[in-house]
Amino acid sequence: MDSCAHDLEATYAGHLDVLMRRTTRALEVTGFTGLLIHSGSPPPVFLDDQHYPFKANAAFKIWVPLTDVQDCFLYVEPGRRPLLLFHRPQDYWHKPADLPESYWTAHVDVRPVPDRASARPHLPADLSRVAYLGETFPEITSWNVGAMNPQALVTRLDYDRAVKTPYEVACLREANRRGARGHLAAERAFREGGSEFDIELVFLRACGQREQELPYNPIIALNSGAAVLHYQVLERTPPAERHSLLIDAGAEFAGYASDITRTYAHDSSDFAALVREMDQLQQSLCASVRAGVDWRDVHLSCHRLLSELLNDADIIRCDVEKAVEIGLSSVFLPHGLGHLLGAQVHDVGGFLRTPEGGEIPRPAGHPYLRLTRVLEEGFVVTMEPGLYFIDALLEQARADARGAHINWARVEQFRPFGGIRIEDNLAITRTGCENLTRDAFAAVSAG
């Protein structure tokens, strides 16, 4: 048994216990006696007989690691083993999923059902005090469930979900290892002259996953494409001149995501130096986090450090405090520093003040920050500072007072490279953090 399999075997039962305690408490407070969770169904393409790729409901897959079987149901009631109604249709158009046999199945009552309607007799006759989580579908209206996605219950579950169990961290470690294999292969493909499309194919092969199995479509941007934060193009032809690669791509394991970004220079000592300096900045930020730290403070610290780096690189010409005060650093870093990570890439609960709700505001001038909570032991977050040369933001700055503080000749030198982002996944501890991504790169490189 490899170390990952051992970790999953050893921690899954404890994970279920934690989920059951959290759910029991949330049900008691909100007045429900049980929880029914749907795995989901892929939506149909408009006026077509095809469906979009299936993505399992995160609230479902945190209980059982089924990511590719639609129309399953999980029934959770305090004091009982979870009941999984496993969708296994009598079908000759598609291959029905095999009944699962894995480290987790001994802890769950698994019953096959051929369709959604057939699931109903396996559930309690009275569902009037049961909460349903998932997209609605025609049959559910006749099941007389107590409530559909009740907000008070969802908020409590989302708040608790920010703290990951040891099982979840083990899944995230493996997702990072798979992602690291993909990234190392992608870098080789870049060095060998591959197109964006070529690089993605190499990434997929190294991860061992299809694109629809990944937590998100990879961002693979050569040259100035890196200035588009969610660059979605995969050019089939390599560029005439090769400057840089920004690859933001993760893998998935047992329903949990990695979210990793790396940036590489092709043949420019100046840009390569800028990448190294950004890597050092990112690592200093990683070293600053631990339980009890307000993530908003880390984000603002990033802007001060970035302003210092921009000054040292002769990209801006004003002191750090001035650059932060007038929003000059935001011209080069418009997005948030990171977010919660788990069964969703942008995991839920990042703004919640308490289990009852309420929102912790973002700092003024930083509208795209996705996490405002004080870090707790067990949080898993991304750390992803960036430095970009985005035409639209630069032209806005040129038109106002900020433009006088920008070295435009230096900007023109770096425009062809697009930008830099370096992103790791961190499991927060009492005294610091476990860098799941750096550890994964080291393990894959060594093995």
Mean pLDDT along residues 300-313:
98
> For the segment 352-403, what is each residue's pLDDT rounded down to a tens digit?
999 999 999 999 999 999 999 999 999 999 999 999 999 999 999 999 999 9
Q: Percent of the chain scored above 70 by pLDDT?
A: 100
pLDDT > 90? residue 268: no
How far is the CA of 136 from the CAs of 37, 140, 265, 266, in angstroms? 11, 7, 48, 50
**Pairing status of strand 83-87 against strand 73-76:** antiparallel
CATH number of 166-446: 3.90.230.10
Q: In 10 A of CB 63, how many CB atoms?
A: 24
pTM of the predicted model over 0.75: yes
Q: In 10 A of CB 251, how many CB atoms?
A: 30
CB 429 within 8 A of CB 381: no
> For the segment 24-55, what is each residue's pLDDT rounded down to a tens digit?
999 999 999 999 999 999 999 999 999 999 99
How far is the CA of 71 from the CAs of 35, 234, 398, in angstroms? 16, 33, 53
**Residue owning tokens 């099941």:** 143
Q: In 10 A of CB 248, how many CB atoms?
A: 24
Give me the sign of the Cα torsion angle 117, 150, 355, 382: positive
328 vs 92 pLDDT, higher one: 328
pLDDT of residue 101: 95
pLDDT of residue 2: 73
CB 108 within 8 A of CB 73: no
Mean pLDDT along residues 277-286:
98
Least confident range of 32-36, 137-141, 278-282: 137-141
Domain map (residue ranges) of the chain: 3-161, 166-446
Burial of residue 440 (CB within 10 Å: 0-12, 13-18, 19+) is buried
pLDDT band at 280 (very low <50, low <70, confident <90, very high): very high
> For the segment 148-174, what is each residue's pLDDT rounded down to a tens digit?
999 999 999 999 999 999 999 999 999
Mean pLDDT along residues 213-235:
97
CB 284 within 8 A of CB 271: no
Q: What angle do CA 170, 174, 175 make, to 5 degrees?
A: 115
User: Chain-wide mean pLDDT for the chain?
Assistant: 97
Q: In 10 A of CB 80, how many CB atoms?
A: 11
**Of 350, 356, 351, the residue nearest 29 (C-alpha):** 356
Are both 3-161 and 166-446 of the same fold? Answer: no
Mean pLDDT along residues 100-123:
96
CB 335 within 8 A of CB 411: no
Q: How remote is the C-alpha of 424 from its chain's centroid?
A: 11
Alpha-carbon span 394 to 389, nearest angstrom:
7
**Residue 206, token pair as written in the block:** 């190294």
> For the segment 185-205, what is each residue's pLDDT rounded down to a tens digit?
999 999 999 999 999 999 999
What secondary structure does DSSP assign to 142-154, as a single string?
A: GTT-SEES-HHHH
pLDDT of residue 1: 60
Q: Which CATH architecture has domain 3-161?
A: 3-Layer(aba) Sandwich (3.40)
DSSP class of residue 349? -
Q: In DSSP terms, which residues pair with 132 in a beta bridge?
A: 36, 148
C-beta pairs of 25-31 under 8 Å, 24+ apart in sequence: 25/156, 26/153, 26/156, 26/157, 26/160, 26/355, 27/78, 27/131, 27/153, 29/152, 29/156, 30/131, 30/150, 30/152, 30/153, 30/156, 31/129
What secondary structure does DSSP assign to 37-72, as a single string?
A: EE---PPBPTTSS-BPPP---HHHHTTS---S-TT-
Phi and psi at 75, nearest 5°, equal -110, 125
pLDDT of residue 93: 87
**CB-side exposure of 222: number of CA atoms within 13 Å?**
25
> For the segment 68-81, what is each residue's pLDDT rounded down to a tens digit?
999 999 999 999 99
CB 333 within 8 A of CB 387: yes
Burial of residue 446 (CB within 10 Å: 0-12, 13-18, 19+) is exposed
Alpha-carbon span 105 to 161, nearest angstrom:
22
